Structure 1
Amino acid sequence: MLPWRCLVCGDAGAGADLCPACRRDLPWNRSACARCGLPLPRPTPRCRRCVGHRPVQASTRAVFRYAPPLDRLLPRLKFHGDLAAGRLVAGLLAEDLSGAARPDALVPIPLHRRRLRQRGYDQALELARPLAGTLALPLLAGALQRCRATAPQSELDARARRGNVRGAFRLRPGQALPAHVALFDDVMTTGATLAEAARLLRQAGVARVDLWVAARA
């Protein structure tokens, strides 16, 4: 019953949670490495780093660069329970990912149960659920389990991040997996968390793992 308001600037939302001006300013990641999603001056099938170390994933679709206003909207969801911000971001993701190579299922990166109790919700799942619904994809929530509590990745450098998440995931016992899945997370920085989860899925027999993320640093 109340008028729409832009979640970024507070101006009239024109029938949405985002005003036309803020929508024009969205940092779409249109120019990136197709393998790891790293923002680049021009698109490329593989950046120099991917040529050197051959990532486990087949491709990465990072919809946005981690820049304004995504660097405000995603923390509002992740740390402040702003589900309206999550709904807005999920809708934008669905617009872009509708043209991506279609996986058989979407698998969100899970929180450890201790972090889930503290936060009360899983931000990746809150984005993945409406995204899967809009794209009519099966959502395998709970297929991956975080079996070890890890330090926040944001506090670590690249090498420490890889060690921090090594062995941090397991598959739910008896979980059946299709041949092609997309792993989903909210933000990708070094990619260590997603790479560890993708490695586990490949070891379990998944033929192709793609990475879908809301924003890439």
Structure 2
Amino acid sequence: MGIARAVDGWLDRTLRVVLPPRCVLCGGRGAGGRDLCAGCAADLAPNAPCCPCCALPLATPAPACGACLARAPPFDLAWVPLRYGHPLDLLEARFKFHGDLAAGRVLAECLVECATRGRPALPALLVPIPLHTARLRERGYNQALELARPLARALDVPLRHDLLVRPRATPAQTGLDAKMRRRNLRGAFAVAPGFAWPGHVALFDDVMTTGATLREAARTLKRAGVARVDAWALARAPRR
């Protein structure tokens, strides 16, 4: 495995010399060995300040947003380093819906960079939000899993994508308000039988919109006996 990884790294460095990186958004010269130029990278907005409970973008720092003060989420902490908006939304759409793996690689590199600068305490296990088998077959890959893999490697955290399952096919969340998203996801997740869950698990999703998906998944893990569940994502959408 070590030799294969070294060879892969050598090939990647060689290709970068022969084919210099180009920005996947504007076509300009890539910066820092990444297929993203300095200008487009600067347009990726950090999610600060934000609610420490649910990562909702805030105008000024606060102990929690109004919704979390009224009712705490089922997860214990949220870590979402970027805000969902232009141009991250373009990269996300190209990766999630159009199979653009170059856009996915850029997103993963940005995620790992954010994680090395600062993130909450490491969990014992990282679990990506699963897709139903029908959706997975249609898309061909799980975008949350593909982003979680390099993150888990960079942080040296075990990753399992087979322990949380989605037995019920739910309609797409796009276009639904927060209440409809919650209703749509009731009973959407289940845990694989016979696994002894550790005390601290982080769930990972690509984008946290209302938080309904991560909330329902966190409830499922709490019912399975996990003491601490964190919600991680690449980007957090502002409240509509």
Q: Which position in structure 2 is the counterpart of 1:146?
A: 166
How far is 1:123 from its partner?
A: 0.6
1:6 aligns to 2:26 (yes or no): no
Partners of 1:45 and 1:129 lie apart in 2 by 31
Count matched residues: 217
| Contact in 2 for aligned 1:128/1:184 (Cα 8 Å) | yes
| Contact in 1 for aligned 2:126/2:158 (Cα 8 Å) | yes
Change (3 A) 1:168 1:188: same
Partners of 1:43 and 1:211 lie apart in 2 by 20
1:107 to 124, 127, 143: 127
Secondary structure in structure 1 of the residue aligned to 2:234: strand
Q: Which position in structure 1 is the counterpart of 2:220?
A: 200
TM superposition score normalised by structure 1: 0.96
How far is 1:12 from its partner?
A: 0.5
Give the superposed CA RMSD. Answer: 1.1
Residues 52-89 of structure 1 deviation map (CA, whole Å, 9 limit, x = unaligned): 01111111111111111110001111001111211111
How far is 1:160 from its partner?
A: 1.1
Q: Which position in structure 2 is the counterpart of 1:90?
A: 108
How far is 1:96 from its partner?
A: 1.6
Partners of 1:34 and 1:24 lie apart in 2 by 24
Partners of 2:63 and 2:154 lie apart in 1 by 28
Q: Which amino acid aligns with 2:158?
A: P
Partners of 1:88 and 1:205 lie apart in 2 by 35
How far is 1:157 from its partner?
A: 1.6
Q: Which position in structure 2 is the counterpart of 1:131?
A: 151
Q: Which amino acid aligns with 1:73?
A: L
Q: Structure 1, unaligned stretches of length 5 or more? A: none
Q: Which position in structure 1 is the counterpart of 2:71?
A: 53
TM superposition score normalised by structure 2: 0.87
| Contact in 1 for aligned 2:48/2:58 (Cα 8 Å) | no
Q: Which position in structure 2 is the counterpart of 1:36?
A: 54
Partners of 1:103 and 1:191 lie apart in 2 by 20
Partners of 1:44 and 1:84 lie apart in 2 by 37
Secondary structure in structure 1 of the residue aligned to 2:81: strand
How far is 1:127 from its partner?
A: 0.5
Secondary structure in structure 2 of the residue aligned to 1:133: helix
Q: Which position in structure 2 is the counterpart of 1:179?
A: 199
Residues 130-150 of structure 1 deviation map (CA, whole Å, 9 limit, x = unaligned): 111111110011111001000
Secondary structure in structure 2 of the residue aligned to 1:154: coil
| Structure label with greater radius of gyration | 2
Secondary structure in structure 2 of the residue aligned to 1:186: strand
Partners of 1:52 and 1:200 lie apart in 2 by 22
Q: Which position in structure 1 is the counterpart of 2:176?
A: 156
Secondary structure in structure 2 of the residue aligned to 1:93: helix
Q: Tell me the percent identity.
A: 58
